[in-house]
Amino acid sequence: MVGLNRRNTSTVWLPSAAVVLQERGSDYIAAIDDAPWSQGHGFHRGFFSSFRIRAGKNVWFHFPLPTPTEANGVQRALDAVMLMWEVMDAAQINWIVLQHGGMERIPLTEIGNEPPFESVPFDPPELWREYYPKAARRLTRIAMEQPLPLRFGLQLSVGIQAADGDGTVRFYGAGAAFSDYS
């Protein structure tokens, strides 16, 4: 795994509310979670941010990652990115890419292929269980083939497709792992 035995490693995580929706409006995003006002915008909750993608649409979501380009006079590098998510109904992750400096696009997955993941179950306390929605959280960790020396800001971009019917995506957060570049 990239990042092992590297110096001065650190990891950051963004909560789900940090996600930025690229395509907006009722042509792309349907109402979700019995909240009519969420049409066109999605629903940011304490648990997750959820979006109902309209059938036949591809929608991009962006996580602006805090990017330490230098620490104590040493250039930093990106070792890995992480995404916690789930999809339901006809939604699927279509593509994950990384933007470095806005113009440099680094594909992290193959177009049309669901990324590898591990399940991250959560069993709420009995006292609060009725307030928690059922969830099937998935954690994707993608290691960079080579550490990416950082000069500019990073953005994790996730394309979601709902081909045959409306589908839901829930984001629980995104993260990145960094180390000294040498």
Q: What is the CATH number of the domain that holds 66?
A: 2.60.120
Residues 6+ apart with CB under 8 A from 98: 78, 81, 105, 106, 108, 148, 154, 155, 156, 157
How many helices (H) and strands (E) would you count in the chain?
0, 12
Question: What pLDDT does 62 receive?
Answer: 98
Q: How confident is the model at residue 4 (pLDDT cuts 50, 70, 90)?
A: very low
Question: What pLDDT does 168 receive?
Answer: 97
Percent above pLDDT 70 for the chain? 97
Question: Does residue 38 sit within a domain?
Answer: yes
Strand extents, DSSP E, the chain: 10-15, 20-21, 29-30, 43-44, 49-53, 57-65, 70-71, 74-100, 104-107, 118-119, 138-149, 154-180
Question: Does residue 3 sit within a domain?
Answer: no
**pLDDT at residue 5 above 70?**
no
Q: Which two tokens stand for residue 115?
A: 């990324």
Question: Does residue 36 sit within a domain?
Answer: yes
Q: What is the pLDDT of residues 20-43, one digit of tens each?
A: 999 999 999 999 988 999 999 999
Question: Does residue 148 sit within a domain?
Answer: yes
**pLDDT at residue 2 above 90?**
no
Which residues, listed in sequence order, are joined to residue 63 by a DSSP beta bridge?
Answer: 156
**pLDDT at residue 3 above 80?**
no
Q: Identify the domain containing residue 73 by its residue range.
A: 10-125+139-174
Question: Does residue 25 sit within a domain?
Answer: yes
Q: How confident is the model at residue 182 (pLDDT cuts 50, 70, 90)?
A: confident
**pLDDT at residue 141 above 60?**
yes
State whether residue 151 is helix, strand or coil.
Answer: coil
Question: What pLDDT does 91 receive?
Answer: 97
Split into its structural domains, the chain has a count of: 1
Is residue 106 within 8 Å of residue 96, measured between CB atoms?
no
pTM listed for this prediction: 0.92
Residues 6+ apart with CB under 8 A from 72: none
Q: What is the spatial distance between Cα 36 and Cα 33, in angstroms, rounded to a whole number?
A: 8
Q: What is the pLDDT of residues 55-105, one digit of tens each?
A: 999 999 999 999 999 999 999 999 999 999 999 999 999 999 999 988 899
Question: Does residue 17 sit within a domain?
Answer: yes
**pLDDT at residue 10 above 70?**
yes
Q: What is the pLDDT of residues 145-168, one digit of tens each?
A: 999 999 999 999 999 999 999 999
**pLDDT at residue 116 above 80?**
yes
Question: Does residue 4 sit within a domain?
Answer: no
Question: Does residue 179 sit within a domain?
Answer: no
